[in-house]
Structure 1
Amino acid sequence: MSTTTIAARSSTLTIGLCFIVALLEGMDIQSAGIVGPSLAAHFSLSSSALGLVFSASIMGLLPGALVGGWLADKVGRKSVLIAAVTMFGIFSLATAIAWNYESLLAARFLTGLGLGAAMPNLIALCSEAVEQRLHGTAVSMMYCGMPLGGALAAVIGLTGTEETWKTVFYVGGVGPLLIVPLLYWWLPESSAFRAQKNTGAAQARADWRGLFQHDTAKSTVLLWVGFFFTLMVLFILQNWLPTLLRGLGFNRIEATTVQIVLNVGGALGALILGRLLDRWNVALLVVLMYCGILVALGGLGLSTHLTAMVIAGFTAGFFSIGGQLVLYALVPRFYPTAIRGTGVGAAVAVGRLGSMSGPLLAGQMLAAGSGAATVLMAATPGVLVAAVSVLFLLNGRRQVQQGTSLTE
């Protein structure tokens, strides 16, 4: 068997297994939002208290991504991913058996730690499984599992009743624990990591200081700003959309249908935008995706009929979830192998600050009496800031390409 064939099979296996993990992660991340009204009723939660539940797992995502990315550069992507999947599976099950508000918050926070540690390793494994010109395609094929997992969570919520909200957490807990043995037996470690591990000089640079060297500092800051505001908008949609739609007069089935469509649109957006990232002008793609997000937010805030809301939901998913994929696929290009996991983890972690602030802000606005349209429109300035930051980032990338490539 030729070396090329072996490498192709290894890449396919890596992307396939990472897709399954992303599917399970996407299901768990959106599970609380899907059953938000049921959680609020079961635990007698106000809007602000429910927002804290949504944000609890996101609070865990931040340190999880930081530590998970850093450990990936120290001990390997595969072992950290296995530990992360085990963790979020166990504590998703714990969410289903939470007996009060405090135990619910604790279970969601610990679930977030595992979820956060998984994502930088998924990105690093997939981007390092292929050559650079296919980074966008490889990461998009993995990442489309996230919105599909969210859609699966919505379907599970749709087939149940207000009283069977625990089902989505049982499924979200058992699934990861079943995939762990497959990861242990079949997932290959990153060849790029294995190569740099044997190089003492490269290993010595695998620390946080590498993110702020003269050739990476500007990129790091701009990536962080782009991640913060893009994830802020995305997580408002993923966590609060069903509740916002119920407040607009849509029933549970209609609200869940829009959530499913949003995730289906996100899966298609991830695949299409990821492919375009490898083939199209990246700056033009960034302009398109942020304009799409702005249009979608307006549609969600102003639509009064189900058909219009479904179209707006699909558009929102296509550009917000697909746009986040573009950012995930871009990050590995700005860091060398020795600090790639650390760089990805740090960007994801800072993005989680936006993820955390988004649901909290929405909860506080709703508690103060703001309507759904006001909440959605409040995210508009953040979209504009993110767009400008990413465009500056790409301009800096062109300047870097005139010198030595960072990705070797």
Structure 2
Amino acid sequence: MRRQRIVNQLNVSDFIAKSDFRRFHFFLLVIGFFCVIFDGYDTAVFGAILPPIMKEWHLSAVEAGALGSYSLFGMLFGSITFGVLSDRFGRKRMVAVTVVLFSLFTALGGVAPGPRLFGLFRFIAGLGLGGILPNAIAMLTDYSPRKTRTTITAIVMCGYCLGGMLSPLIGILAIASYGWRFVLWMGAVPLIFLPLAYRYMPESSFILLREGRRQELLALLSRINPARKIESDAQLYEAHEVSARIPLAGLFTENRAMSTAMFTTAIFFHLILGYGLINWLPKLMLEAGFTMRSSLMFLLVLQCGAIVGTVVMGYVGDRYPLKRILTGLYLLGSVTMVLFALNRNATWAYVLIAVAGVPVVGAQNLVQVYMSQFYPVFVRSTALGFSSSVGRIGGMLGPLLAGWLVSMSFSIHNMFFTFAIPGLCSALAISAVQHRHSSDRSRDTGARLHVPLIGELEK
């Protein structure tokens, strides 16, 4: 039979990208912010409880570093696993699964009788911690207007920094009275609100398109942009033809292989710095002569700097190339580490740590925003999950390296000199990303994912 030419066509991603910020986007922002807050809390919680846990279980520096790496080892598997599953089955389900994993098993860590079971719980929690960010960021990028996409995602990523602040803050307020286990039990809070968040969370548009759920997709689009009328006979499509069965293949096609390798390298070195510093900063400040309360305050100051830097850089990122911004941020990270190593003044130490929060934590937020825009919708979570998963090896090495340096009696100043090296490596890697092959620039409006919806097949 002959196929008739359909003139009325609607690119779903383009429709969403050209919309304005509305109540739909606000609720999505709130849901993402809530999930990411507790992701940041559970990720940073080990650093907040490290000194008392070392004392209670009589752990050496190397043993404590290994224990801190268990959750990062779980993140390695969780990032890629849930990233691929999300691009295959949708973001909504995977967000729910990952929240349950990291919330439940962080709380269970508070009842562990010793380091062995504690490490197992941290590993399982790490699976969820690794999986939530690729899905939350990808969902936000999927549905955000193009003109405010970076700002919206950056605001949500501030939740990660806020969660990182809550861990030491609750540690300061609670450890003396209730013990370090209470700090872990607070990680169960998301389980209370998850059912409500799940109800209002949208399903991935490409999943609705792929499964032929036309009415659901049309209802979703009407919430995103109620002012624009969609014709009843419109054919809905996506602009990229990417395999629905093997999302990983999309990371290395259309000249994206080099950039995938460079993103992964940048994250690898950056996480050596980030996790090494976050996990060991209170302990290092304690060794430098600060009190327990003051040493935990350094984590708060670090995250404060990260929040301000992420918001500002997100706003700037909607107006200037993210690649250049990230290169500068990574270099700033190295410079602040060197300055901290040379510093001998307590007041300036707080100032430098606040500034360091922008590249040490904020840059990690921003690189994921950049990646979510670089890759097409069908491999977005997979790309974030893959690079984060391989990069997590650096996150695992960071606490181990810091623990080894402490055991070798490295001074705090030499420690910070060492932390300057990964920032430089990340800057070189991100500068080699081939932005000309990004999704926005390489999109060919003629290339489509041929998955016609029910009722749209031509005779």
Per the shorter chain, which TM-score range?
over 0.9
* Corresponding position of 1:95: 109
Tell me the distance in 2 between the aligned counterparts of 1:184 and 1:281. Answer: 34
Matched, 1:311 2:325: no
Task: Please tell me whether the aligned partners of residues 60 and 116 of structure 1 are also in contact (alpha carbons under 8 angstroms).
Answer: yes
CA distance in 2, matches of 1:361, 1:188: 41
Instruction: Give the residue type in structure 2 aligned to 1:103.
Output: L
The aligned counterpart of 1:31 is 45
1:114 correspondence with 2:128: yes
Structure 2 unaligned segments of length 5 or more: list them.
1-15, 213-236, 449-459
Cα distance, 1:302 vs. partner?
3.4
The Cα shift of 1:7 comes to 7.1
SS in 2 for 1:370: coil
CA contact (8 A) 1:196 1:337 kept: no
Q: 2:436 aligned to 384, 398, 405, which one?
A: 398
Instruction: Say if 1:219 and 1:334, in contact at 8 Å, map to a contact too.
Output: no
Q: Hey, what's the Cα distance between the residues in 2 that align with 1:154 and 1:32?
A: 9
SS in 2 for 1:204: coil
SS in 1 for 2:443: coil
Judge conservation of contact 1:61–1:112 (CA < 8 Å) in 2: yes
Contact 1:232 1:358 in 2 (8 A): yes
| Map of 1:291 onto structure 2 | 331
State the shift of 1:276 in Å.
1.0
Task: Return the alpha-carbon distance in structure 2 between the equivalents of residues 351 and 202 of structure 1.
Answer: 24
Within 5 A, what are the aligned runs for 1:362-401? 362-393=402-433, 396-398=434-436
As a proportion of its length, which structure holds more helix?
Answer: 1
CA distance in 1, matches of 2:78, 2:185: 22
Larger Rg: 2
Q: Deviations over 1:260-280 (max 9, x none)?
A: 111111111111111111112
Matching residue's letter, 1:64:
G
In 2 relative to 1, CA 403–322 (structure 1 residues): closer, same or farther, beyond 3 Å? closer
Cross-structure match for 1:246: 286
The 3-state SS of whatever aligns with 2:113 is: coil
Please name the residue that 1:347 is paired with. 387
Which residue identity is paired with 1:294? S
Q: 2:68 is matched with which residue?
A: 54
Could you tell me which residue of structure 1 aligns to residue 311 of structure 2? Answer: 271
Q: Give structure 1 regions of 4+ aligned residues with deviation exceeding 4 angstroms.
A: 3-7, 196-203, 399-403
Separation (CA, whole Å) in 2 of partners of 1:6 and 1:278: 14
Q: Does the C-alpha gap of structure 1 residues 345 and 399 become closer, same or farther in structure 2, counting only changes over 3 Å?
A: closer
Tell me the CA shift for residue 196 of structure 1. Answer: 4.8
Deviations 1:283-332 (A, max 9, x none): 44234312321222123333333311110110111222111122011112
Equivalent residue in structure 1 for 2:397, among 346, 350, 357: 357
SS class of match (1:160): helix
Q: Equivalent of 2:82, from 52, 68, 80? A: 68
- Quote the Cα distance in structure 1 between the aligned partners of 2:439 and 2:378: 19
What is the CA-CA distance between 1:132 and the residue it aligns to?
Answer: 3.2
Return 5+ residue gaps in structure 1 as ranges.
none
- Distance apart, 1:230 and its partner CA: 1.2
Q: CA deviation at 1:333?
A: 2.3
Code of the aligned partner of 2:92: K
Is residue 335–residue 406 contact of structure 1 (8 Å, CA) maintained in 2?
Answer: no
2: CA distance, partners of 1:314 / 1:74: 40
Query: 1:92-144 deviations in whole A, cap 9, x for unaligned?
Result: 11110011110111011111011111111011011112133433112101100
Give the SS at the match of 2:318.
Answer: helix
1:191 corresponds to 2:229: no
Q: Tell me if the contact between 2:35 and 2:190 (Cα under 8 Å) persists in the aligned partners.
A: yes
- Alpha-carbon separation, structure 1, partners of 2:437 and 2:36: 33
Residue 322 to residue 196, structure 1, CA distance change in 2 (3 Å): farther
Task: Please tell me whether the aligned partners of residues 262 and 315 of structure 1 are also in contact (alpha carbons under 8 angstroms).
Answer: yes
Equivalent-residue separation in structure 2 for 1:47 and 1:102 (angstroms): 16
1:230 aligns with 2:244: no
Between stretches 127-136 and 43-52, larger displacement belongs to 127-136
2:256 corresponds to which residue? 216
Q: 2:118 is matched with which residue?
A: 104
Q: 1:158-173 alignment to 2 at 5 Å?
A: 158-162=172-176, 164-173=179-188
Q: 1: distance between equivalents of 2:441 and 2:300?
A: 45
Query: Which of 174, 191, 195 is matched with 1:181 structurally?
Result: 195
Identity of aligned residues (%): 28
C-alpha change, 1:165 and 1:305, in structure 2 (3 Å) is farther
Given that residues 96 and 194 in structure 2 are in contact (C-alpha distance below 8 angstroms), is that contact kept between their aligned partners in structure 1? Answer: yes
Q: CA deviation at 1:191?
A: 2.7
Distance 1:323 1:271 in 2: 11
Does the Cα contact within 8 Å between 2:109 and 2:122 map onto a contact in 1?
A: yes
How high is the TM-score relative to the length of structure 2?
0.83
Is contact 1:197–1:203 with CA below 8 Å preserved after alignment? Answer: no
- The residue number in structure 1 matching 2:222 is none
Q: Report which stretch shifted further, 175-184 or 285-294.
A: 285-294
Segment of structure 1 superposing worse, 104-113 or 305-314: 305-314
Question: 2:161 and 2:313 mapped to 1: Cα distance?
Answer: 14
Which whole-Å CA distance do the structure 2 matches of 1:401 and 1:203 have between them?
16
Q: Is the 8 A contact 2:44 2:167 kept in 1?
A: yes
Question: In structure 2, what residue type is equivalent to 1:347?
Answer: S
Residue of structure 1 equivalent to 2:36: 22
> Taking structure 1 as reference, are residues 212 and 160 closer, same or farther at Cα in structure 2, changes over 3 Å only?
same
Taking structure 1 as reference, are residues 112 and 406 closer, same or farther at Cα in structure 2, changes over 3 Å only?
A: farther
Q: Give the Cα–Cα distance (whole angstroms) in 2 for the partners of residues 213 and 12 of structure 1.
A: 34
Structure 1: how far apart are the matches of 2:67 and 2:133?
A: 21
The Cα of 1:401 is off from its aligned counterpart by 7.8
